[in-house]
Amino acid sequence: MSVNGKIGQLNFAIREAIPEMRQAADANPAASLLVRAISFASGASWHVGEPTPVDSFSWEDVHTYGGTDMGAAFKLAAGALQTPPMPQRALPPVLALASDGQPTDDWRAGLRAIDSTPWGKRAVRVAVAIGDDADKSMLKEFLANPELEPLQAKNPRQLAAAIRWMSTAVVKDASTPKVEDAKPAAPVGPPLTKGGDEDEIW
């Protein structure tokens, strides 16, 4: 994420998506949309530590340094998916991963930690593969659904479009009431635009 301006593009894309996240929350008043975020480099930490209502959510830039400890980030997320702190009954959480898919630690151990939690299994998962060199096979394992593919973002415009879609369409899917213990529907990817390769998301 430290090459070709990837991290700067990600910071920009997330800030650009916030107004549409707020619109999605307003359109689903029965659901309480709370946001948390983890950053990972050499180690992992909560970038937005407390569950934050989207109306008061803001984004401070993340920066690259050292390694890419994605497994540590997964383990941190797994701790938040236990009950408690999660309630016994709630709409499924959304786990969104934006990365070039090139972790430097034992990410599979972290993924197993997520999968071992009840809420981790029920979560709606989405991933954005950032850059031409992204390891999509790794990101596909995170999705844990053979019917899903990570979104591909090869330039800033694609990344911004993918983040906007993740923050709205997937939230709407997660906030739709489902039969207890039913598997959440696989979110459908964003449509291709007609502005040429530069605008296409997939």
When mean pLDDT is compared over 12-16, 74-78, 92-96, 129-133, the highest value belongs to 74-78
Of residues 169 and 92, more confidence is placed in 92
Share of the chain above pLDDT 70, in %: 83
% of the chain beyond a pLDDT of 90 = 47
Q: Which H or E element spans position 34?
A: strand 34-41
In the β-sheet with 124-130, what is the strand arrangement from edge to edge?
A: 94-99, 124-130, 151-153
The domain ranges of the chain are 6-59+68-176
Sign, CA dihedral 63-67-71-75, equals negative
Q: 41-72, pLDDT tens digit by residue?
A: 999 999 999 999 989 999 999 988 888 999 99
Contacts of 74 (CB under 8 A, 6+ apart): 107, 110, 111, 113, 114
Tell whether pTM > 0.85.
no
State both tokens at 89: 């009954």
pLDDT higher than threshold 90 for residue 136: yes
CATH topology of domain 6-59+68-176: Rossmann fold (3.40.50)
Q: Is the dihedral of CA 184, 144, 90, 49 positive or negative?
A: negative
